[in-house]
Amino acid sequence: MSVFLTLLAALLATGACAYHRSSLRTWAIVAIITTLVVGLLVHAPVTMVILLIIELVIAVPLLLVDFRRRQISAPLLKLFAKVTPKLSETEQTALEAGTVGFEGELFSGKPDWHELLKQPKPELSVEEQAFMDGPVEELCGMIDDWQITHELADLPPNVWEFIKKNKFFGMIIPKQYGGLQFSALAHSAVLQKLSTMSATVSSTVAVPNSLGPAELLLHYGSDEQKDYYLPRLAVGEEIPCFALTGPYAGSDATSIPDVGIVCKQLVDGVETLGIRLTFDKRYITLAPVATVVGLAFRMYDPEHLLGDKDDLGISLALLPRSTPGLQIGRRHFPLNIPFQNGPVHGKDVFAPLSVLIGGPQMAGHGWRMLVEVLSVGRAISLPSNATGAMRASALATGTYARMRKQFGLAVARFEGVEEALARIGGLTYATTALSRATAAAVDRGEKPAVTSAIAKYHATEWARRIASDTMDVHGGKAVQLGPKNYAGRGWSSVPIAITVEGANIMTRSLMIFGQGAIRCHPYVLKEMQALLIGDRGEQLKTFDRLLFGHLGFGISNAVRSFAMGLTGSRIGDSAGDAYTRRYYRKLNRYSAALALCADVFMGVLGGKLKFKEKLSARLGDVLSYLYIASSMLKQYEDNGRPEADRPFLAWGFHECMWLIQNALDGAIRNFPVRPVAWLLRGLVFPFGRREVPPSDRLGRRVAALLTAPNEARDRLVEWVYRTPTPNNTVGRMNALLPDVIAAEPVDRKFGKALKAGQFKSHDYMDQLAEAEQAGVLNTSEAALLKRVREGVFEFISVDDFDTDELRAFKTRADA
């Protein structure tokens, strides 16, 4: 027993130091003192001496820094340089382009929650709120999505004019150039509200404010280019598009075959130095109506007119629509969502060097420019459009499920529908927090490469799930297209968001963990950069410090993951209130588990992990759900910890924990080195998988919030266009909801009388009259049931058409 106690004490002392990330010196002192004291107290001198020898053999060489560097770090540096895969120039540029925010803390295994909670609450300025309440509200009132999608296949002229006049295309352009200079949060809010009325309108507004000429000009354009283009872009005098994707370069944008050859050509009798461009682009949003085309191509200088290099690299240019040889104007038709989108072609199109964004000195810098700008645009446009659509679905589906009755009950009362409503409410809450967090990161000056990929992937994937649930709950109402159908177009548009700005399969399997593991890890990128240090002495000194910091980091995460798994996340630092404290501790546990698994996977598989895309995808899922869960907690804190929001928060949080557990389990289960996988399973899941999905009881509470007016619901559907205008079916339906709820007890009373055979008529309105005459209902109750019956009939009705009308739609579409 004395031997066991001495060993246990030494292990506990070591584990405590690792858990708290004490220094090597501190561990040595604590371990030696603990061994001495316990060994003497329990009278185990032999065990004590053996443990002291082991501790000294470990501690002394490591504490002798010069010896450690020569005998341990130097050989490991050579091995590391040999096995580390060399980053391509493309990968290096991508890694250097972005910044790391709180996602770095989530990769640390020990997040500092105070860093998250001290970030300022994202809020619209007075000017931005006025824009939301004025021009955005007015524009929503003008939108007739049936007219746009089925009659015109375009925005009507008055909508185009209103968008230009009110500078919707200039939200990111500074005021000095005539733009609105809005925050990323305001940009997101505008897109969310517009997307609740029309995917076509929100896409049209999103593109000029996302990846496009304005953003590129702001960061890299010459003063002359900024002064000319930005004021014209702000007021819609110029309509921009950006041509990147082609038949042979989709997600792999670096392989674009489009070329520009530096050459001289006579222009109006003057020899001009320029570029002869040949390109074939497709899927270019706004291209059919664009007046200026941003173009990505690979630039070559075979005659060395600009320098010694033949291949200058990817470059970006701005071509006026009037450029001779530019073929533009034809349209694609993306799933009957008729935002302007089409191909751009050109063969041997000559343009002067002045068309290069930033001028000739920026030739070859196009990939860096794209990566830096894309991370910002991707953080706002698609997540915002998806969030707006989800919020609209939450409002519409919750309201419809309360109005629509079958078997004498509102369909919201059926558990199958309740399950769908719970998903809609919980995932919408999570996605609003996610899009809000990424917008806030942009407003803090970050270039969130990793979290923009997280936001794009998960917002659009969850929008797809919610669109499916919305269709299921609405049934035939959502299937029959027409002016009364507010759900069908959302369902049709979902694959578009899934595909663009980095296909979701690629984003999940390559980008999130692929960049996150290197960019967010506190040591990996620094260790790789240490290989580039020219001074051998300084290189060894830097690598030694990073190596042993990394080893301590890994040991600490193993201990933390195991300890928090053993205690069910009941120990450790935390934040928040009494309700959320346990949530922060769960995140601490899975942050340590992620960091541990990432280190082990990278250490064992090395460069091969790059090709284990399913493993990378699962670890990326863990990082994503950690980030989403922390975003929900931040949103809960920013909103003043409202008790009414707790069902939404709890559902979303438990769903994230369930998904994290499944992702870690899948990664460990499929890790190819089985003994390592067995060890990881013991450290990550010491008592097995204990997380469970949100309970039925919790789902019932979420569904109840969606189907009745309340403050939590109002916060959830913020920035949804709810004004009950003639063009806004959901707004009018929502306005009727209080009457629907008020009528329920009256309807039950009426139903009992009907079952009792008190009425002779078979017509509902005649039955109401009989009920009033018989004293079953008073005048106001009968009037209420009549008003609700007539109102609900409008919202459950569907459209029908004469065959010639449908032929007319086809004719217009073909035209």
Rg from Cα positions in the chain: 31
- List Cα–Cα distances, 107 to 111, 613, 659, in angstroms: 8, 19, 17
Cα four-point dihedral sign 252, 257, 258, 259: positive
Alpha helices in 358-448 (DSSP H): 366-403, 415-443
Q: Please tell me which residue in 501, 527, 655, 781 is annotated as part of the active site.
A: 501
- List Cα–Cα distances, 52 to 61, 509, 567, 753, in angstroms: 14, 47, 30, 88
Rounded to the nearest angstrom, the gap between the alpha carbon of residue 77 and the centroid of all alpha carbons in its chain is 38
Residues 479 and 448: beta-carbon distance below 8 Å = no
Cα four-point dihedral sign 445, 449, 450, 456: positive
Structure tokens at 21: 């990330």
DSSP letter assigned to residue 377? H
Alpha helices in 98-212 (DSSP H): 103-106, 113-117, 126-131, 137-142, 145-146, 157-165, 184-195, 199-206
Q: How buried is 583 (Cβ within 10 angstroms: 0-12 exposed, 13-18 middle, 19+ buried)?
A: buried
Structure tokens at 540: 């060894």
Cα four-point dihedral sign 608, 610, 611, 612: positive
Collect all residues with Cβ–Cβ distance below 8 Å to 117 and sequence separation of at least 6.
575, 634, 637
User: Residue 419 catalytic?
Assistant: no
- Cα distance from N-terminal residue to C-terminal residue, the chain: 89
Beta bridge partners of 249: 246
Cα four-point dihedral sign 312, 316, 318, 323: positive
Residues in the chain: 815
Q: What HEC string does 115-137 produce?
A: HHHCCCCCCCCHHHHHHHHHHHH
Rounded to the nearest angstrom, the gap between the alpha carbon of residue 511 and the centroid of all alpha carbons in its chain is 13
Active-site residues, by number, are 501
